[in-house]
Structure 1
Amino acid sequence: MPITLPRIRAINAVANGGSYAAAARQLGLSQPAVSQHVRDTEAEYGVRLFLRRNGALHPTPLCAQLCDIAERMAGEEREAERILTRHTTLLDGRLSIGLGNSMPGMAVIALFRKRHPSVSVSVETGSFEKIVKAVLAREVDVGVLPDLPADGRFRTELLVRQDVVAVVHAQNSLAERQSFTCAQLMEAPLIFRTRGSSTQRVVDRAFRAARFEPAPILMLDTRDAAYEAVANGLGVGFMWRHGTGRTDAVRRIPVREMNRMYDEAAFTLADEQAVMVDAFMAAVRAFRAENAQQE
Structure 2
Amino acid sequence: MNARPSPYQITAFTYVAREKSFSRAAARLDVTQSSVTQHVAKLERQMGTQLFIRRRGGLELTRAGAELFSVTDRLATMEQLVHEKISDYGALTDGHIRLIANAPRPAMPIIAHYGALYPKVQIDFTLYDWTTSMELLMERKVDIAIVTEPEDSDSLFIRELRRTRYKAHMRSDHPLASHKEISLRDMQNDTLILPEDGSLTQKVAAQKIREQDLSFPRIIRTTTFPMVKEAILHGLGIGILLENSLFPSEKLAAVPIREMTEEYRDCVTIPADKRDLKLIRSFMDVAVDARAEQVF
TM-score calculated relative to the size of structure 2: 0.70
Aligned position for 2:245: 243
Match of 1:150 among 152, 161, 173: 152
Q: In structure 1, what residue type is equivalent to 2:145?
A: G
Match of 2:200 among 198, 201, 204: 198
Equivalent position of 2:167 in the other structure: 165
> How far, CA to CA, are the matches of 2:153 and 2:218 in structure 1?
32
Q: Does 1:254 find its partner at 2:256?
A: yes
Deviates more, 1:236-245 or 1:204-213: 204-213
Q: Give the match for residue 211 of structure 1.
A: 213
Whether 1:278 and 2:281 are equivalent positions in the alignment is yes
Of 133, 138, 141, which residue of structure 1 is paired with 2:140? 138
- 1:251: how far off? 1.3
CA displacement at 1:79 relative to structure 2: 6.0
Percent of matched pairs sharing the same residue = 20
> Residues 19-58 of structure 1 correspond to what in structure 2 (within 5 A)?
none
User: Rg larger in 1 or in 2?
Assistant: 1
2 CA distance for matches of 1:212 and 1:181? 11
Query: 2:176 is matched with which residue?
Result: 174
Q: Partner of 1:49 in structure 2?
A: none
Structure 2 alignment gaps of length 5 or more: 3-8, 14-31, 35-40, 46-54, 56-60
Q: Deviations over 1:175-196 (max 9, x none)?
A: 2323210111222221223321
Q: How does 1:220-231 map to 2 (within 5 A)?
A: 220-231=222-233
The corresponding residue for 2:235 is 233
Instruction: Name the SS of the counterpart of 2:249 in structure 1.
Output: coil
The one-letter amino acid of 2:206's match is: D
Q: 2:265 aligns with which of 252, 263, 266?
A: 263
> Is 1:135–1:143's contact at 8 Å kept on the other side of the alignment?
yes
- Tell me the residue number matched to 2:120: 118
What is the RMSD computed on CA atoms of the aligned residues?
3.7
Residue 202 of structure 1 contacts residue 258 of structure 1 at CA under 8 Å; is this kept in 2?
no
Distance (whole Å) between structure 2 residues aligned to residue 28 and residue 282 of structure 1: 35
Find the residue that maps to 2:176 and give its secondary structure. helix
The Cα of 1:82 is off from its aligned counterpart by 4.9
Corresponding residue of 2:95: 93
Which residue of 1 is the match for residue 38 of structure 2?
none
Deviation by residue 1:76-115 (Cα, 9 ceiling, x = unmatched)? 7766655554656532222111111111111112222233
Change (3 A) 1:145 1:232: same
CA–CA distance in structure 2, aligned partners of residues 286 and 67 of structure 1: 40
CA distance change for structure 1 residues 139 and 248 in 2, over 3 Å: closer, same or farther? farther
The residue identity in structure 2 corresponding to 1:278 is: R
Contact 2:167 2:255 in 1 (8 A): yes
Give the match for residue 102 of structure 1.
Answer: 104
**CA shift in 2, pair 1:132/1:168, >3 Å:** same
SS of the equivalent of 2:177 reads helix
In the aligned structure 2, how far is the partner of 1:286 from the partner of 1:72? 36
User: Match of 1:91, as an amino acid?
Assistant: T
SS of the residue corresponding to residue 153 of structure 2 reads: coil
Once the two structures are superposed, residues 207-238 of structure 1 have per-residue CA deviations (whole angstroms, 9 ceiling, x without a partner) of 22222233333122322222211111011111
| Corresponding residue number in structure 2 for 1:18 | none
Unmatched runs of 5 consecutive residues or more in structure 1:
10-26, 30-36, 42-57, 59-65
Secondary structure at the aligned position of 1:258 is classed as: coil
Within 2, Cα distance between the matches of 1:241 and 1:282? 24
After the TM superposition, which segments of 4 or more aligned residues of structure 1 sit over 4 Å from their partners? 66-89
Please name the residue that 1:44 is paired with: none
Deviation at 1:28, TM superposition (A): 7.0
